[in-house]
Structure 1
């Protein structure tokens, strides 16, 4: 057994919803004792960095019920069963922004909260963006599009209007790319 591995002794599914499943696992710890772990299973998600020809980052403003407020975020969304990250990214880009792109460059993949969730986010950069005529949208999503400069993005972070890890990660990536162009 791996030095830090926790062997699952028993699993109870507490909730099986549209987006997540919640398990409570009884585990054997490396020292032989037992403990409980609450685990959120998630199908995975994508996030897209989309920078316009004017060097502006495209953000969506969206109300986030768990936080009881709106945030400015890069376009993102949940992967559907059997969907590749690239397919999800193209679909979400159109649904949330009304744009598509000729190419998606993979940037990174990362776990959002590995202490309790297996959600893996795949981050892409959209290249050669194009406006879509009659884009497909989600009935239950209410979004406002914003195009912001790098300086405006930093201000939104300071104001805690950008307050999620994937968007801050994207802005750090943008900062590095801007520095490499100089």
Structure 2
């Protein structure tokens, strides 16, 4: 199913904040159903994520500190699409930076909106196989506090259901990848 575009009519635009990773707008709009009102929106360039799996069936995840939730979340490697990059270039860079692995085999799993109630961000998801550990792991970005974690798919599903703290994009990405993981 594709998204049918029905853009609202922009009546007034106000950029409240222009940030490093995203902008925050408050706009007066007329929706397709003719309702008028004020809506806040985070404008984001989009992101890319990978579901990396080793040759022995282990998922490669990161446990990353996230200040907004004041704790560490279990996530698949991901990153913001930088100016001039496409999603595939982004995730090739991010998987190496965050996990110390590169991948030879990639499957495009599609894209999905992350939080359409307040953001226009789409995440592009990929399955990464044929992993090779880099001889020298790249340095992490200054704002990242990351630990690499290997789990079986069964362990990851238990983590999801136990409320351990798995982010939504990783849950969605995993279930997009799951049919490919189950193939022998």
Provide the rounded CA distance (Å) in 2 between the counterparts of 1:165 and 1:65: 16
**Which has the higher Rg, Structure 1 or Structure 2?**
1
Q: Given the alignment of the two structures, is residue 143 of structure 1 paired with residue 146 of structure 2, yes or no?
A: yes
Find the counterpart in structure 2 of residue 88 from structure 1: 90
Runs of 4+ in 1 over 3 A off after TM superposition: 29-33, 178-181
Equivalent in 140, 147, 169 of residue 166 of structure 1: 169
Q: Which runs of no fewer than 5 residues in structure 1 stay unpaired?
A: none
Find the counterpart in structure 1 of residue 21 from structure 2: 19
- Partners of 2:108 and 2:126 within 8 A in 1: yes
Q: Secondary structure at the match of 1:39?
A: strand
Number of residues of Structure 1 aligned to a counterpart in Structure 2 = 180
Equivalent in 125, 128, 133 of residue 126 of structure 1: 128
Following superposition, the deviation at residue 155 of structure 1 comes to: 1.6
- Give the superposed CA RMSD: 2.0
- Partners of 2:54 and 2:129 within 8 A in 1: no
Following superposition, the deviation at residue 131 of structure 1 comes to: 1.3
Q: State the TM-score, normalizing by the size of structure 2.
A: 0.89
Provide the rounded CA distance (Å) in 2 between the counterparts of 1:168 and 1:31: 33
Q: Secondary structure at the match of 1:116?
A: coil
Following superposition, the deviation at residue 92 of structure 1 comes to: 0.2
Q: State the TM-score, normalizing by the size of structure 1.
A: 0.90
Question: Which is worse superposed, 155-164 or 5-14?
Answer: 155-164
Provide the rounded CA distance (Å) in 1 between the counterparts of 2:92 and 2:102: 6
